[in-house]
Structure 1
Amino acid sequence: MADWSLPQLLSSLHNDIQTRLKIVRETIQHPGSKGDASEGVWISLLQTYLPERYRANKAFVVDSRGQFSQQMDVVVFDRQYSPFIFKYEGEMIVPAESVYAVFEAKQSADKAMVQYAQEKVASVRRLHHTSLPIPHAGGTYPAKPPLEILGGLLTFESEWTPAFGDSFRNALAADSSDGRLDIGCVASHGHFFYDKPSSDYVFESETKAATAFLFKLISTLQFSGTVPMIDVDAYGQWLAD
Structure 2
Amino acid sequence: MPDFVDKFGTALAYFSLKIRETANIKHSGAKGSERELDVAAFIDDLLPMNYTAKKGEIVDLLGQKSPQMDVIIFDALKNFSFYSGESVVLPAEACLASVEIKSKINSTEIKTSQEASRKLKSLKPWKRQLGSSSQQLQESSGPRSARYLHSLFAYDTDIADANWAKSELTRIENHANGPADQSIDFLYVLNRGLIDTRSRSFIPEDEKTGQALVSFWFSLYNFIDRENRRRERAPYFSYANDLKRFWTKID
Instruction: State the TM-score, normalized to the length of structure 2.
Output: 0.77
The two structures, once aligned, show a CA RMSD in angstroms of 2.8
The count of aligned residue pairs is 225
Cα distance per residue 1:158-203 (max 9 Å; x no partner): 22112733220112223125742112321222222234xxx42324
Matching residue of 1:61: 58
Q: CA deviation at 1:8?
A: 7.4
- Worse-superposed segment, 186-195 or 116-125: 186-195
Q: Write out aligned runs for 1:106-145 (5 A).
A: 106-130=102-126, 144-145=143-144
1:192 counterpart residue number: 195
Note the 1:16-55 alignment, pairs <5 A. Answer: 16-27=14-25, 29-55=26-52
Asked if 2 retains the 8 angstrom alpha-carbon contact of 1:105 and 1:154, the reply is yes
Alignment partners' CA distance in 1, 2:156 and 2:187: 12
Per-residue Cα deviation, 1:54-94 (whole angstroms, up to 9, x for no partner): 21010111111222111001111121221x31225533101
Provide runs of 4+ in structure 1 moved above 4 Å.
Answer: 4-12, 141-144
Q: Which residue of 2 is the match for residue 223 of structure 1? A: 226
CA contact (8 A) 1:59 1:73 kept: yes
The equivalent of 2:131 in structure 1 is none
Gapped runs of 5+ residues in structure 2? 129-139, 247-251
**1:138 counterpart residue number:** none
Mapped contact 1:17–1:210 kept (Cα < 8 A): no
Do the aligned partners of residues 6 and 62 (structure 1) sit closer, same or farther apart at CA in structure 2, a change above 3 Å counting? closer
Corresponding residue number in structure 2 for 1:236? 240
Higher relative contact order (CA 8 A, sep 6+): 1
Percent identity for Structure 1 against Structure 2: 21
CA distance in 2, matches of 1:33, 1:221: 30
Unpaired runs of 5+ residues, structure 1, are 133-140
Q: Confirm or deny: 8 A CA contact 1:18 1:187 kept in the other structure.
A: no
**Which structure features the higher share of strand residues?**
1
1:230 maps to a residue whose letter is A
Tell me the distance in 1 between the aligned counterparts of 2:143 and 2:23.
Answer: 43
2:98 matches 1:102: yes
- 1:144–1:229 contact (8 Å) kept in structure 2: no
Match of 1:71 in 2: 68
Match of 1:212 among 211, 215, 232: 215
Q: Which amino acid aligns with 2:241?
A: Q
Contact 2:104 2:157 in 1 (8 A): yes
Paired residues of 1:153 and 1:185 also in contact (CA < 8 A) = yes
Q: Secondary structure at the match of 1:109?
A: coil
